[in-house]
Structure 1
Amino acid sequence: MPLVALPVCLWRLPIAFGYGMGGEVLPPSPWNIAYVVGLSVLSEAFALLGFGLVRRWGELVPTWVPKWGGRRIPPFAATLPATIAGLFFTALMVHWAYGAFRLGGADGFPYTEGWDVLAMTVSGLFTLWGPLLLALTFAYHRRRRPR
């Protein structure tokens, strides 16, 4: 999942610094730079959290956590938020994809000069985030359910 989010995170960075890639240009300001860079870092951080559904560290509270360290994480505590997030991102991306990929008569991306093709490519990868998170959550649930 981090590799699915990475192209969009990298795509956003020039926009933060005032390069519109054939579209609307954001005025370069500290707020815009902080917002876009922060959004990219946050997106990547949440994508990396998906590893917790397939790695051992997603089953136990880290030992450095006071009072809770070393305890087993209840499967429901991981599957419920992951399922909600997966459904949310799937619905959001389906809604967003209609405009991005010119479905249903939408205008598409506001980019020109070939930048729209690149935008559709990196954004197309990003639309996989929700379904991938749901697949990881289902696998986590199957692995951790009581036998």
Structure 2
Amino acid sequence: MTTLTEAPPSGRLRAAWTAAHAPVDGVPRWARIAAYTIPFTVLPSSVWRIAAVTFHAPIARGEQGPGEIPSWLPVELYVVLLSVFSELVAFTAVGLISRWGEVFPRWIPGLRGRRVPALAAVVPAAAGAVALTCMWTLAGVIVALGLDVHGQPLPADFPLNVHDWQGLLAVAAYAPLLLWGPLLGAVTVAYWRRRHHT
């Protein structure tokens, strides 16, 4: 009979992942919840974009896709890359409550094990929170008023016109993005307080 003295690779990976992303001491419960919520505020719009543009699901009216992208990059691939990038950026909020937001991970050469300077995390997180709050609030107001960024009425085939189920679905997918900036701002303040007082 053979006994296992080591966790299988998948078990070690799960344990390492859990240890790296577990909240550090002193993180308020509300900040944990907010940090873990942030990637989920981005997820509905990412799923909607991939379904509508990459898989051409009939959930949006009109031609879907971004404005100007290089001709060599298929729009379907661009949307997947944009969605993955958005999720990765949103996931960095978890670093504001985790060990890897306070001490550089071992896999970063030259920095491994050193403390992350508080301002190196706070400045980009605060700037991101302000930018995201302004951007998505402006987008929400524009859509609510039925206008484009130039003050002109939105075209009838604009995806976020709420005249049918497709528009309502698009608005429901993008509405959680209104929370991204404020949640990130709150988690950033909690991070600053915790790091500043220790």
* Percentage of identical aligned residues: 34
Cα deviation 1:60-100 (Å, max 9, x = unaligned): 11122222110000101100010001100111011111122
Task: Report the Cα distance in structure 2 between the residues aligned to 1:45 and 1:22, rounded to whole angstroms.
Answer: 25
The alignment's C-alpha RMSD in Å is 2.4
The 5 A counterparts of 1:56-135 are 56-102=99-145, 107=154, 109-110=160-161, 113-135=164-186
Which residue number corresponds to residue 35 of structure 1? Answer: 78
Tell me the number of residue pairs that the alignment of Structure 1 and Structure 2 aligns: 146
Contact 1:83–1:137 at 8 Å: present in 2 too?
yes
Q: Report the Cα distance in structure 1 between the residues aligned to 2:99 and 2:53, rounded to whole angstroms.
A: 37
Q: 2:189, 2:111 → 1: CA distance?
A: 26
What is the 5 A alignment of 1:136-147?
136-146=187-197
TM-score calculated relative to the size of structure 2: 0.66
The structure carrying a bigger helix percent of its residues is: 1
Q: Give the letter aligned to residue 25 of structure 1.
A: E
What's the offset of the Cα at 1:103? 6.5
Measure, in 2, the Cα distance between the counterparts of 1:79 and 1:58: 10
1:126: how far off? 1.1
Aligned counterparts of 1:146 and 1:113: Cα–Cα separation in 2: 52
Matched with 1:50 is 93
Tell me the TM-score normalised to structure 1 length: 0.87
- Cα offsets for 1:98-139 (capped at 9, x unmatched): 122237896472465311112222211111111111011000
- What are the Cα deviations for residues 2-33 of structure 1, in whole angstroms up to 9, with x where unaligned? 11111111010122233453421248x96111
Unaligned runs of 5+ in 1: none
